[in-house]
Each structure stands twice: as structure tokens, then as C-alpha cells.
Amino acid sequence: MGRTVRDGLRLSAEQEQFVELAREFAAREIRPRGRAVDEADVESPLDVWEKAAALGLTSFMLPEKVGGGGVSLLTQVLVQEELCHGDIGIGNLVTSNGFFGAPVEQLGTPEQQERFLGPLGTDRPPLTAVAVTEPASGSDAASIRTSARREGDEYVLNGQKTWISNAPYAEMFVVFATVDPALRSRGVTAFVVPRSAPGLTVGPPLRKMGQRAIVNAEVFLDDVRVPVEDRLGAEGQGFSGLMRTFDASRVLIGAATTGLARAALDFATSYAAERVQFGVPISRHQAVAFRLADMATRIDTSHLLAVRAATLYDEGHAVTQEAAMAKLVGSENAMWCTHAAVQTLGGYGYSREYPVERWMRDAKLEEIEEGTSDIQRLIISRGLGAR
Ligand SMILES: Cc1cc2nc3c(=O)[nH]c(=O)nc-3n(C[C@H](O)[C@H](O)[C@H](O)COP(=O)(O)OP(=O)(O)OC[C@H]3O[C@@H](n4cnc5c(N)ncnc54)[C@H](O)[C@@H]3O)c2cc1C
């Protein structure tokens, strides 16, 4: 392939180094594991996690003062894209502590950041999780029912969370609960809860369509006592902290899906150059060539939206709209591109011998988690003044 939109970015020496590290790690350690991890179904590749941690790839997004890399969101975007070019499920696993780190950074005191994020900046970091979703509360996160009742210097948490990524392995959870459900978003409060807390239990792994490198489960909170000093921010500040977390994490989904879509394009392009039908490589049939052209164009669109949102974020602007667009377009383009890759391989595209059917299953998740495509459209339309 000729020059891509990525070649138009002027990267700093530090960004070049991170991108090269991620690209090399993705090719050597991530891509070869994709199929086996998918077949294993409900088992995270912890050996890959450990190797990534030793290279700083699990902590580069955390603040420097806790042992992280302290890099910009733009650098995170570039790294995420490369890791997920290897495999989006494993790439998302490698950077998953960033999702825990964000609300701690947004809402936590310097002392809490040191205490909760310090262990994540070490050579052998624990896995962590963020628990918002409940069986009856998904898109409408302000409707959570998990309760936090104050008793002296403690809160008592009761409720049930579902779909929690990393739950079977996580040693710490950020749990979002409510001090009063009638207050809706103004009642939502965040707590850090260790896995060892009496009353916290994790259900069996939930079996799912794709992205099996991250294992999901329900989390039950039964009279879990949390000291006041483990509350992040004031009572009622949890929801705004969560929304600010999404402003960054949705941009990273835009980047992750760009990496996945690039993998699909690379694979389909090579295949189309080799596969001969009607006496010529199928890439010489215009329908196939145009499909590849559409994939390439969509990928660059996704990349540019993620880069725009990250650049504005790094400059200190509010990016709720731009982040929603990056996530919406990135995930829908990844779905389109992986579907196009399956089509380009014909029957072989449908075979588990090739990765494109798996990548199509992997892509679907990103139209759902951290706010479905409908919710992103809701956010974008509200920003236009349309209600
Ligand atoms: C693999 C996976 C990993 C996840 N990881 C985590 C995690 O780590 N932590 C966590 O807390 N959660 C996690 N989630 C939960 C995820 O964020 C939710 O599934 C998601 O927000 C959607 O909520 P829901 O599934 O309850 O769907 P619902 O909210 O019930 O939505 C169902 C449908 O209705 C549509 N809809 C709902 N409201 C509106 C509206 N106002 N306008 C238009 N359409 C609407 C939706 O777009 C969707 O199509 C994960 C989910 C999955 C599948």
C-alpha cells in the first residue's frame, strides 16, 4: 500500500518509540495468539499481559508520579491502534488498567492516586476492573441501583453488577453506586473496592461472541464495607467523573477499532492479490478493488477522528462530541471493514482457518460497550441542539 494518513502525522521521538514498541509487540506477541485465545473462550492470556507489563505497555497511560509513562491521549491513540492491529481483544486487555486509572485520576486525591495507581506502575501489576453496568441499568447509567449507605466512617455497598471486564482476575474494582436512587446522576458515587473485601463475590465467566481475551463476569456486593477514605470524590460526583472517563476512553475505542479495521484491510488486500478467479487475481475485478478502496478510506476517516479528538483533549478542550464521533465512526467502520474482509475471502472468509470471521465478531462489541452507537448518536445530536 502507498502512503497512508498515518504518514501525515509528525510524531515526536517519544511517540515514534512508543509506536514502534507497540507495533513490534503486536506482531510478535499479540497477533500469533489471537486464534488460540478465541478458542480458549474464557481465559485471558496472562503471559502476554506479563510480557506487556515488563515493557511498560500496561502502564504508559498512567501518570508519571505513580510510575506510569504520563503520555498524552494522542500517544495513547497511536499505541492503541498498533496493539489492536495485532488483535483487538488482546490489545484492549493490555491497556485495560487505563480504564481503571481514569476515574481514579479524575476523582481521586493525590494520596488515593498514589495508593491505588502505584501498584499498577510496577513490573508485576494487578489487573483491575470498573463496575457500572447492572442487570437493569445499561445505557441509562444514572439509573443504577447498587446502594451505598453511610454508617459512621464507612459505606455499606449492596447490589449486583454485570458484564464487568476483567472481573475474574481483578484485584481492585472502581464500583459506581448510588447514595440515593431518586437523585439519579447526582446520587452516583465512586468507590475503590479490593477483591478481598468481605461480601464481594464474582460470578462465573460470561460466554460471549468475540474479544475473548478479556473475560467478563457478574460482581455481587453483599454488605461490603468500604472506608470513607476509599470513596473517590464527593458523594454525587461519580457520574461526572464517569462521563469524563468516557471522553478519553471512547477516543481510544476509535483508535482500537482503526487498528482492527487496518488488520482486516491488510489481510484482504494480500488475499485479493493472490487469489485467482476468471484468470486474474480477484483484486483486478473492480468490485473487489473498490471494496478495498472503501475500506482504506473508512480506516483513514476513523484514524483522523480519533487523532482530532485526542489532540483537542490534550489541549484541554471538552471533547464529548468529538469522542462520541470517534467511537461511533471507528466502531461502525470496523464492523463494515471486517464484514468486507469476510466477503473478499469468499468461503474462506467464513472459515475459522482464517482470522477475518473472528475479527468480524470482535468488531461487533465496539458498537455496544461504553455506550452503544445509538447513545453516541444521542450525544452528538444533543450537541447540535437537537433533542
Ligand atoms: C463484552 C462487554 C464488556 C463490557 N464491559 C463492561 C465493564 O467493564 N464495565 C461496565 O460497567 N459495563 C461493561 N459492559 C456493559 C456495556 O457498557 C453495556 O452493555 C452497554 O452500555 C449497553 O447497555 P445494555 O447492554 O444494558 O443495553 P441497553 O441499554 O438495554 O440497550 C439495548 C438497546 O436499546 C438501545 N437504547 C437504549 N437506550 C436508548 C436511547 N435512549 N435511545 C436510543 N436507543 C437506546 C441501545 O442502543 C441498544 O440497542 C460491557 C458489555 C459487554 C458486552
Do 5-121 and 239-383 show the same overall fold?
A: no
Ligand 1 atom at minimal distance to the Cα of residue 129: 8
> Which architecture does CATH list for 128-236?
Beta Barrel (2.40)
Burial environment of residue 310 by CB neighbours within 10 A (0 to 12, 13 to 18, 19 or more): buried
CATH superfamily of 5-121: Acyl-CoA dehydrogenase/oxidase, N-terminal domain (1.10.540.10)
**At residue 330, does pLDDT exceed 90?**
yes
Give the distance (Å) from ligand 1 centre to CA of residue 371.
Answer: 6
pLDDT at 10: 86
Task: Report yes or no: 165 and 217 within 8 Å, Cβ to Cβ.
Answer: no
Tell which one of 372, 378, 387 to mutate to probe ligand 1, the residue whose CB is within 8 A of the most ligand atoms.
Answer: 372
Helix (H, G, I), strand (E, B) or coil at 279: coil
Q: What is the DSSP string of 323-380?
A: HHHHHHHHHHHHHHHHHHHHHHHGGGGGSTTSSHHHHHHHHHHTTTTTS-HHHHHHHH
Ligand 1 atom at minimal distance to the Cα of residue 141: 21
Q: What is the C-alpha separation between 285 and 290, in angstroms, rounded?
A: 9
Structure confidence by residue, pLDDT tens digits, 168-192: 999 999 999 999 999 999 999 999 9
Task: Report yes or no: 63 and 121 within 8 Å, Cβ to Cβ.
Answer: no
Q: Are strands 128-131 and 172-178 parallel, antiparallel or unpaired?
A: parallel
Give the distance (Å) from ligand 1 centre to CA of residue 280.
Answer: 45
pLDDT band (50, 70, 90) for residue 47 = very high
**At residue 4, does pLDDT exceed 60?**
no
CB within 8 A of 43, min separation 6: which ones? 37, 212, 215
Amino acid at position 266, single letter: D
Active site residues per annotation: 370
Which whole number is the average pLDDT over 87-104? 98
Ligand 1 atom at minimal distance to the Cα of residue 371: 21
Ligand 1 atom at minimal distance to the Cα of residue 370: 17
pLDDT at 387: 62
Share of the chain above pLDDT 70, in %: 98
Q: Grid coordinates standing for 166? A: 476483567
Atom 30 in ligand 1: which residue has the minimum CA distance? 138
Which whole number is the average pLDDT over 9-18? 92
Give the distance (Å) from ligand 1 centre to CA of residue 39.
Answer: 25
Owner of C-alpha cell 487523532: 307
**At residue 247, does pLDDT exceed 90?**
yes
pLDDT at 193: 98
Give the distance (Å) from ligand 1 centre to CA of residue 380.
Answer: 17
Q: What is the C-alpha separation between 163 and 218, in angstroms, rounded?
A: 6
Amino acid at position 39, single letter: E
Tell which one of 100, 214, 368, 379 to mutate to probe ligand 1, the residue whose CB is within 8 A of the most ligand atoms.
Answer: 368
Atom 31 in ligand 1: which residue has the minimum CA distance? 139
Note the CATH number of domain 239-383: 1.20.140.10
Q: What is the C-alpha separation between 268 and 348, in angstroms, rounded?
A: 11
Tell which one of 218, 365, 369 to mutate to probe ligand 1, the residue whose CB is within 8 A of the most ligand atoms.
Answer: 369
pLDDT at 328: 98
Give the distance (Å) from ligand 1 centre to CA of residue 191.
Answer: 22
**At residue 7, does pLDDT exceed 80?**
no
Mean pLDDT of the chain, nearest integer: 97
Neighbours of 138 (CB within 10 A): 18
pLDDT band (50, 70, 90) for residue 232 = very high
Domain extent listing, the chain:
5-121, 128-236, 239-383
Query: Which residue blocks in 210-237 are alpha helix, DSSP H?
Result: none
Give the distance (Å) from ligand 1 centre to CA of residue 372.
Answer: 6
Q: Are strands 154-165 and 128-131 parallel, antiparallel or unpaired?
A: unpaired
Tell which one of 88, 139, 209 to mutate to probe ligand 1, the residue whose CB is within 8 A of the most ligand atoms.
Answer: 139
Q: What is the DSSP string of 33-55?
A: GHHHHHHH-S---HHHHHHHHHT
Give the distance (Å) from ligand 1 centre to CA of residue 154.
Answer: 31
Q: What is the C-alpha separation between 363 and 335, in angstroms, rounded?
A: 5
Burial environment of residue 236 by CB neighbours within 10 A (0 to 12, 13 to 18, 19 or more): middle
Question: Pocket residues for ligand 1 (CB within 6 Å)?
Answer: 130-133, 138-139, 163-165, 208, 216, 365, 368-372, 374-375, 378
| CA angle in degrees (0–180, nearest 5) for 46-110-131 | 45
